[in-house]
Every structure is written in structure tokens, then in C-alpha cells.
């Protein structure tokens, strides 16, 4: 990892996670299945793009997918603390 120099332009900067919101939901039915009764996690990510504009990305995951996502996020945070 190298320090960012002032002469670098904004478009050379990576996207940054600004905010993350989540909620737990329950899918009770769908067009193809009358009785799902399946829990899911809904995520809303706010990302600052190199242009300075904020965009939003929405994701839905099953509970096992969210648990894996959480594990990977914790691993990334641990690595970033060492930098």
C-alpha cells in the first residue's frame, strides 16, 4: 500500500463504502411458491464513487449467505487494521 499523493486525481481514487444499513425479513410467499417462510437479510450499501457522487446498491441474502458475508467483512477489517 502506498500513500495517496495530492497530485493524484479523484478518478484514480477507489470507491469507498460510506454507509451500510441492514434489516432482517421473512419471505412468506412468491409467484411460484405459496409458502416460503424463509428468512433473509436485506442490505443497502451507500458508496462514494471517485466522482464524489453517492450511489446505492441493494442486496438480499439468505441467512447462511449473510453469515459468510459477515465473516469475510470481519477478515477484511482485521487486515485493514494492520495496514
Domain ranges of the chain: 10-82
pTM of the model: 0.62
Whole-number pLDDT of residue 57: 92
pLDDT digits (tens, 9 = 90+) for 14-34: 788 899 999 998 877 777 666
CATH topology of domain 10-82: Nuclear Transport Factor 2; Chain: A, (3.10.450)
Whole-number pLDDT of residue 4: 45
Give me the percent of the chain exceeding a pLDDT of 90.
Answer: 29
Cβ neighbours around 44 below 10 Å, total: 13
Whole-number pLDDT of residue 10: 46
Place of cell 453517492: 54
Place of cell 482485521: 78
* Average confidence (pLDDT) over 46-68: 90
The C-alpha cell at 21 is 444499513
Whole-number pLDDT of residue 12: 57
Amino acid at each position: 500500500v502506498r500513500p495517496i499523493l495530492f497530485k493524484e486525481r479523484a478518478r484514480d481514487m477507489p470507491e469507498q463504502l460510506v454507509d451500510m444499513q441492514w434489516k432482517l425479513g421473512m419471505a412468506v410467499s412468491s409467484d411460484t411458491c405459496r409458502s416460503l417462510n424463509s428468512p433473509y437479510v436485506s442490505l443497502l450499501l451507500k458508496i462514494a464513487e471517485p466522482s464524489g457522487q453517492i450511489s446505492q446498491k441493494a442486496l438480499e441474502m439468505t441467512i447462511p449467505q449473510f453469515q459468510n458475508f459477515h465473516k469475510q467483512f470481519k477478515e477484511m477489517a482485521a487486515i485493514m487494521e494492520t495496514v
